Amino acid sequence: MQPLHFSFLFVGFLLLSLVLRLWLASRQVRHVSRHRDAVPEPFASRISLPAHQRAAAYTIARVQLGIVDQFVGAVVLLALTLLGGLQFIHETWMRWLPDQPLLQQLLVMATALLLISLAELPVDGWRHFRLETRFGFNRMTPALFVADHLKALLVGALLGLPLLAALIALMQHTGQRWWLWAWAFWIGFNVVVLLLFPTVIAPLFNRFEPMADGPVKERILALLARCQFSAGGLFVMDGSRRSAHGNAYFTGFGKSRRIVFFDTLLARLEVDEVEAVLAHELGHFKKKHIQKRLVLQGVFSLVAFALLGWLSSQIWFYQGLGIAIGPFQAQAPAGVALLLFFLALPVFLLPLRPLMAWMSRRDEFEADAFAVEHSNGQALVSALTKIYEDNASTLTPDPLHSAFYDSHPPAPLRIGRIRQRLAEAAPAAPSQP
C-alpha cells in the first residue's frame, strides 16, 4: 500500500466515525426530547414527571458534551499523526538523548500520552464541575479532582513505563515472533494488575470499609451461601466523596475477590433490594460472563499483537501516519510503532462497537434472570427503578443509539423481561368449578 493511500484511508475512517457518532447523537437528542413529557407506562406509578424530565435533560447534556469530546479527540489524533506532532516529539527526544534509545522511546510515548491526557482535561473538568454539578451529582472538590489526576498519572507511570520497556525489549530481541512473546507478557501483566487492583490500586483513590454487621450483611451472606459463592470480603466504598451516583461491583480473583457497594447505593435501597442487586452481580459470575469476557479480550489482544507484528515492518504504515522513515531504515523505533498502532487502531474498530454492546446486553438479561431465580424479582424491579431515577438515566433512549452504544438494555425492555419471568414463574390460579 502507498503511504498516501493509507493516509486517506485513515482520515476516511476517522471522518466516517465522527459523522456516524454525530448522527446517532442527534437521533438520541431528538428521541429523548420527543418523549420527555410523558413517563413510560411501566414507570408511571414510580417515577414522577419532573424526575423523568430531569433525566431527559441530563441525557441530552451528556450527549452534547460527548460530541465535543469526540471532536477534541479527533483533533488531538490528527495533530499527533498526520500533522506531525509525534514526529516532532520523536525528533526532539532524539536530539536530547541520542545515545539512550530505550529511554528516548519511553519518553516519546510518555510525552504523547501526557499531551492526550492534558487535552482531555478541560472536557473532564467541565463534566464534573458544570454538567454533574448542574444536575446535583458532583461532590468532588477541585483539590480532589487534581489529586485524582495526579495519582492516576503516577500509577500509570509506575505500571505503564515498565510494561512499555518490556514490550520494546521483546520487540527488539525475540525475533520475528516477538509479537507472540509480547502478547504473553501482556496477558501476564493484566492478570497481575487484576490481582493487585482490589487491595493495592483501588485504595489509592477510595476508602473501603468492611461492611458493618446488620440485616444487610446477614441477607448478603445468606445469598452467598445459597449460591455457593465465596468472597474475600464485603466492603463499602466512599463513592459519595465524588458523586451521588450509586453502584455495586465485584473485583479481583481468588482470595483477593471482593464485593463492593457504594455508600450512596446502600443509603437508598432497602435490604431486599440490595440482595437483588447483588444477586444480579452474582449472576455474572455464575454464568461465567467475566471469564468469557477475559477469554475474548485475550483472543482479541492476540490478533492485535499479530497485526502489529506485521504492520511494524510496513514502511507505509509509518509514513501514512506522519512518521518519516529514512532510506536505510526498515521500520521506526519500537516505541513509535507501539504508540502509532494503539492510536490508530480504535479508528478502525467502530464496526465492532454494536456487537460488543449486544453481547453485554445479552449478559445483563442472563444476570437478571439469575437474580429473579435466587432473590426477590419484585425487589430487583424496585431497585433498578430507584437506580434509574437516582442516576437520571433516560427511560426513553433512541433504539438505534442504544443498540450501538449501550452495555445495558433500555429500562422498559429490561423491566419488561423481569416482569415476564416473574409471571412465568408464578403458580397458576386454581380453576373454578
Q: How far is CA 424 from CA 146, 362, 418, 421, 428, in A?
A: 52, 20, 10, 5, 9
Q: List Cβ neighbours of 419 (8 Å cut-off, separation of 6 or more).
A: 42, 381
DSSP annotation of 408:
S
| H or E element in which residue 21 lies | helix 3-34
Amino acid 216 reads V
What is the distance between the alpha carbons of residues 374 and 177, in angstroms, rounded to a whole number?
48
Cα 57 from chain centroid? 23
Q: How far apart are CA 18 and CA 14, in angstroms?
A: 6
Label each residue of 341-363 as H, E or C.
Answer: HHHHHHHHCHHHHHHHHHHHHHH
Amino acid symbol at 51 = A
Instruction: Give the SS3 label for residue 115.
Output: helix
Contacts of 428 (CB under 8 A, 6+ apart): none
SS3 assignment for 176-217: CCHHHHHHHHHHHHHHHHHHHHHHHHHHHCCCEEECCCCHHH
CB atoms within 10 A of CB 394: 24
Tally of residues, the chain = 433
- For residues 244 and 235, the answer to whether their CB atoms sit within 8 Å is no
Does 280 appear as a known binding residue?
yes
Please tell me whether 132 is known to bind a ligand: no
CB count within 10 Å of CB 143 equals 8
Instruction: State the amino acid at position 249 in one-letter form.
Output: Y
Q: Do residues 385 and 415 touch, judged by C-beta distance below 8 A?
A: yes
Provide the annotated active-site residues. Answer: 281, 368
Dihedral sign (CA 199, 259, 256, 300): negative
Q: What's the angle, vertex CA 202, arms to CA 153 and CA 217, rounded to 5? A: 165
CA separation for the pair 51, 388 (Å, rounded) = 10
**Is 273 annotated as ligand-binding?**
no
Which parts are annotated binding residues?
A: 280, 284, 364
Instruction: Provide the annotated binding site for Zn(2+).
Output: 280, 284, 364
